[in-house]
């Protein structure tokens, strides 16, 4: 997305304050919106993230069966989040947690990351909606030949009006 359009998306304007963008900007917005659908995580990806946290942070010792059930619980709770959001949240948790995080702590970290991305995507959708509702094409400019023809057509009545005076 061009810098100027990106800046408009990031301004935090409501629909009535947003400018009406033209068709080229609307195309950039459509491309951005389509590309902004992040992938969902796979169970193996969540398992890898949890394993890395498990290595780095203190946790209570659990049996293999309990660890498997814990993984299933975390998978059920976290699979609805976008993979990039989870990955960023796990990096934040790795740097900030003193102990292995609960599902609620992971959810909070994901919300903090997802919020700005979701607001930006929502603003892009609103700009596109405003374009679709309010943009009206401007008339095409005359070619030089059309301008000459129009000039000669307009000049004839003006010349005859001047002669009649």
Give me the mean pLDDT over the 103-113 stretch: 95
Same domain, 66 and 76: yes
Is the confidence at residue 7, as pLDDT, over 70? yes
Same domain, 100 and 125: no
Is the confidence at residue 155, as pLDDT, over 80? no
Is the confidence at residue 161, as pLDDT, over 60? no
Same domain, 47 and 93: yes
Same domain, 108 and 126: no
Give the per-residue pLDDT at 36: 87
Same domain, 59 and 106: yes
Domain span at residue 51 reads 43-116
| 149 confidence band (pLDDT: 50, 70, 90) | confident
Give the per-residue pLDDT at 42: 95
How many domains, the chain?
2
pLDDT tens profile 38-64: 899 999 999 999 989 888 887 777 788
- The mean pLDDT of the chain is 88
DSSP letters, 72-110, are: HHHHHHHTTS-HHHHHHHHHHHHHH-SSPPPHHHHHHHH
Max avg pLDDT among 62-66, 69-73, 104-108, 154-158:
104-108
| 165 confidence band (pLDDT: 50, 70, 90) | low
Same domain, 28 and 58: no
15-19, 60-64, 123-127: least confident range: 60-64
């Amino acid at each position: 997305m061009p810098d100027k359009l990106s800046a408009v998306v990031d301004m935090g304007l409501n629909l009535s304050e947003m400018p009406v963008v033209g068709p080229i900007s609307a195309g950039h917005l459509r491309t951005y919106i389509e590309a902004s659908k992040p992938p969902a995580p796979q169970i193996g990806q969540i398992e890898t993230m949890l394993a890395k946290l498990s290595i780095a942070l203190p946790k209570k010792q659990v049996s293999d069966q309990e660890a498997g059930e814990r993984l299933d619980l975390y998978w059920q709770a976290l699979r609805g989040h976008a993979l990039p959001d989870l990955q960023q949240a796990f990096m934040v948790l790795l740097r900030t947690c003193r102990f292995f995080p609960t599902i609620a702590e992971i959810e909070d970290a994901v919300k903090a990351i997802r919020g700005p991305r979701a607001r930006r995507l929502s603003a892009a959708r609103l700009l596109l909606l405003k374009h679709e509702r309010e943009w009206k094409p401007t008339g095409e400019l005359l070619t030089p030949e059309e301008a000459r023809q129009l000039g000669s057509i307009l000049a004839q009545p003006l010349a005859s009006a001047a002669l009649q005076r």
